[in-house]
Amino acid sequence: MEQTAHDRPGDSLRNRSLGRYGEEHAAEWLREHGFRVVERNWRCARGEIDIIAWDSCTLVFVEVKTRSGLRTGHPFEAITASKVLRLRRLVPAWFDDHPEVSARAIRIDALAVHVDGPLVVVEHVAGVL
């Protein structure tokens, strides 16, 4: 059986490492654009939220997708309707875990991080609902 790029030994480790690298760049990009990052990689039994940040008075829950090329598609293609629904269900769980936090407005954003050697490009979509 022929192995593909998706099932070679070590690919999962490389993908996790690329994901962490992308999340670092995403968090820095958010800071540079006026967001205040309050938490990263929050987890519960239902899943994970990559980044939670304030954008002025709006609490933003950010999904980050990183790709090192387009052979697996654009990073935003990985944010499916079911993924957005899961994120929407995670937001109340985050508030349950942080009863001291209140927000007048909330939003779910997506960041695509493209890594091409030393070049890193970040794309931002606010309000992916």
Provide the Cα torsion 103, 77, 72, 50; round to 10°: 10
In a domain, 4, yes or no: no
Please count the structural domains in the chain: 1
Decide if 85 is inside a domain: yes
Per-residue pLDDT tens over the stretch 32-87 = 999 999 999 999 999 999 999 999 999 999 999 998 876 777 888 888 888 889 99
Kindly tell me if the per-residue pLDDT of 9 is higher than 70: no
- Please indicate, yes or no, if residue 88 is contained in any of the structural domains: yes
**Any domain includes 115:** yes
With respect to residue 75, please indicate whether it lies within any of the assigned structural domains. Answer: yes
The pLDDT confidence band at residue 7, using thresholds 50, 70 and 90, is very low
List the domain range (segments joined by +) for residue 34.
Answer: 11-125
Flag whether 2 is in a domain: no
Report yes or no on 70 lying in a domain: yes
Residue 1 counted as domain residue = no
What is the CATH classification number for the domain harbouring 116? 3.40.1350.10
pLDDT-based confidence at residue 15 (cuts at 50, 70, 90): low
**Residue labelled with tokens 């079911």:** 82
Give the list of residues 6+ apart from residue 47 with CB closer than 8 angstroms, or none.
86, 87, 89, 90
pLDDT for 2 equals: 27
Q: Which amino acid is at 123?
A: E
* Contact assessment for residue 122 and residue 25, using Cβ atoms and an 8 Å cutoff: yes
